[in-house]
Amino acid sequence: MPTDKFRGEQAIVVGGSIAGLLAAQVLSQYYQHVLVLERDSQESLFGTPPQARKGTPQSRHIHILLNGGEGAITKLMPGFDDELIAAGSTKGDFAKDMRWRINASWMPRFKSGLRMYLQSRPLIEDLIRRRVQKRNNVTIQSNWQVKDYVLDANGMAVEGLIAVGGDGKSHEFKSDMIVDAGGRGALYPQWLKKSGFGAVPTEEIKFDLAYSTTTYKRPDDPSRDWSLMACYPNPPLEFRGGVIGEVEGGEWQVTLYGYHGDHPPTDAEGFKRFAKSLAEPDMFEAIKDLEPTSDVVRHNMPSSILRRYDRMARLPNNILAIGDAVCSLNPAFGQGMSGVALEAYALDQILSESTEATISAQQLTGRYFRDVQKVLELPWDLARDECFKYPQTEGKKPLLHDISSWYKDRIIRSGEKKVIDQFYRVVHLIDPPSHFFKPGMAAKILNSTRPRDVPSNLN
C-alpha cells in the first residue's frame, strides 16, 4: 500500500515504453505529479487500432506475458488480466496449451495452472498506457528528446533534466525523482560516466541474433490443441528456431530467428523456406498453405546487455533506471516484459514499505538496484547458459557453466512431472532456481530421464 504522505512534488519518467508506463503507475502513488516524456508522436501513442511505434522496433515481433509478469502487473493495476482478455488476448495454460521443443525434445504437456497471455506487443502497451493515463496525476507528453540531467549544487542528487520538444526548443524540468526508461540506448549510463560517477560495469553476451516476423489468418482447425508453438534450436549444431502464437484479430504471429549470422529472410517465400529448414517440420506444416496478412519485418539483436548499477561505487540520488536501460534480455526466451513488470513491482515494494524518514534517497537508490539485480539474475542466467552452448558466443562465460548447463539439461529431460512443473515455475519467474537443489528434487532430477519421444502426460 502507498504511504499516506507524498515523497515529493514531481517525478519524471523518461520514455513511454511498457517499462516507463509501469514506472509511472508506481510513482503516481508516491509523488504529487508524474510526467512521462516520450520521443514518439501523439498519433503513434494513441492510434486505433494500436500500432507498433518507431521507438520500439521489437514490438512487431511475438511477445508473451508469463505468469510472474502478469501477476506483477495485475498487482499494480487490478483487473488488468481481465482487460487483456476483453481486448482479444489469448489466455492459456503454459504446459497444456503450448508445444515446446527444446534440447531436441518436445516438452511434456499437462495442466499446470501457470497462466500465459498471448497478444501483440502494441495491444498490451496500449492497454497499460490507457490505464496510466487515467491516473489524475499523470501526464504523458509526446515528441520530447531528453538531452541531459541536472545535478544539484552539491553534485550529489539530480534535480531535473533538459529536454528538447517538438518545437525544437530546449526546456528544463524540475523533479524530485527521475526514472530513465529510455531503452538500450538510454541516456543515464552515458551521463553517469560523463558526470564523473564512472562507467557502469556491464556484462555483454554477443550471439548475433536476428528475427523475422509476419502474421497469418489463423486457420479453423478443431483438432488443434495448442495456442503457442515454440521450436528452439539445439546448440551447438542448430542455429534456427521459431515461434507461432495466437494474437488478437484471429491471427497467428509467427517469428523465426537465427543465431550467429544464420538469419531469416524478409520475403514471404524465403520466410517459409526458413521455417521448412527447422529441425522439426511442425511449424512449416502449420503455415505452408497460408497467405501472410502483413509484410515480413526483421529486427537484429547482436547481444544482450546487463548493466550492474548495483556495483557502482557511488550513484547520484533521485534518479533510477528500468527496463532495457538496465538489462536487454535475449528475446528468444520471452521473459522481457515479465522481467520489466517485476522490476516495477520491486520499486513499488520499496516505496510502499518506506518513507523519507525511514529510508534516505541514497539508501533507496542502492536498495532498488540491488533488488532489480535479484529480479534479473534468473532470466539472465537462463538465457546466458543456452547462448554459451555455442562456441561462437562471445562474453564472460561463467566458471561453472558446463556443470550448470549439464544439470539444467537433466532438468529439462526429466521424466518426473514434479521436476518439469518446477522448471516451468522457474521459467515463469515465480520460483528461484534454488528449488532444484533441494535433496528430494535433486534426486528426481538425477535419477529420471524421459525418452526423446515424449508421452503426452507424465505421472
CATH label of the domain that carries residue 182: 3.50.50.60
| Strand 105-106, strand 63-65: pairing | unpaired
CB 319 within 8 A of CB 188: yes
Residues 357 and 409 in one domain: no
| Strand 98-102, strand 228-231: pairing | parallel
DSSP-assigned letters across all residues of 242-301: EEEEEETTTEEEEEEEESTT----SSHHHHHHHHHTSSSSHHHHHHTTPPBSS--EEEEE
Q: Give the pLDDT of residue 45.
A: 62
Residues 334 and 214 in one domain: no
CB 372 within 8 A of CB 325: no
Distance CA 96, CA 110 (A): 5
Residues 12 and 50 in one domain: yes
Q: Give the pLDDT of residue 63.
A: 87
User: Is 274 within the bounds of a domain?
Assistant: yes
DSSP-derived letter for residue 394 is B
Of 273, 302, 331, which residue sits at a domain end?
A: 302
CB 316 within 8 A of CB 158: yes
> Which cell numbers in the block locate residue 359?
529510508
CB 347 within 8 A of CB 25: no
Could you tell me how far CA 40 lies from the centroid of its own chain? 20
Residues 339 and 438 in one domain: no
Residues 17 and 75 in one domain: yes
Residues 31 and 126 in one domain: yes
Could you tell me how far CA 157 lies from the centroid of its own chain? 29
User: Is 63 within the bounds of a domain?
Assistant: no
Residue 315, classed as helix, strand or coil, is coil
| Strand 251-258, strand 202-217: pairing | antiparallel
> Which cell numbers in the block locate residue 252?
497467428
> Rounded to two decimals, what is the model's pTM?
0.93
User: Is 452 within the bounds of a domain?
Assistant: no
Residues β-bridged to residue 158: 151
Count of structural domains, the chain: 3
Residue 88, classed as helix, strand or coil, is coil
Where in the sequence is the domain holding 409, given as residue range(s)? 401-447
Nearest Cα to 64, choosing from 17, 124, 127?
124
User: Is 313 within the bounds of a domain?
Assistant: yes
Distance CA 283, CA 256 (A): 10
pLDDT tens for the chain, residues 1 to 459: 444 568 899 999 999 999 999 999 999 999 999 999 998 756 666 666 666 656 666 667 788 899 999 999 999 999 999 999 999 999 999 999 999 999 999 999 999 999 999 999 999 999 999 999 999 999 999 999 999 999 999 999 999 999 999 899 999 999 999 999 999 999 999 999 999 999 999 999 999 999 999 999 999 999 999 999 999 999 999 999 999 999 999 999 999 999 999 999 999 999 999 999 999 999 999 999 999 999 999 999 999 999 999 999 999 999 999 999 999 999 888 899 999 999 999 999 999 987 666 677 888 999 999 999 999 999 999 899 999 999 999 999 988 889 999 999 999 999 999 999 999 999 999 999 999 998 889 999 998 887 765 544 554
CB 120 within 8 A of CB 297: no
Q: Give the pLDDT of residue 356.
A: 63
> Which cell numbers in the block locate residue 27?
510513482
User: Is 53 within the bounds of a domain?
Assistant: yes
Could you tell me how far CA 439 lies from the centroid of its own chain? 32
Residues 6+ apart with CB under 8 A from 64: 116, 117, 118, 228, 245, 334, 337
Residues 116 and 145 in one domain: no
Q: Give the pLDDT of residue 323.
A: 96
Maximal C-alpha separation, the chain? 68
User: Is 396 within the bounds of a domain?
Assistant: no
Radius of gyration over every alpha carbon of the chain, rounded to an integer in angstroms: 22
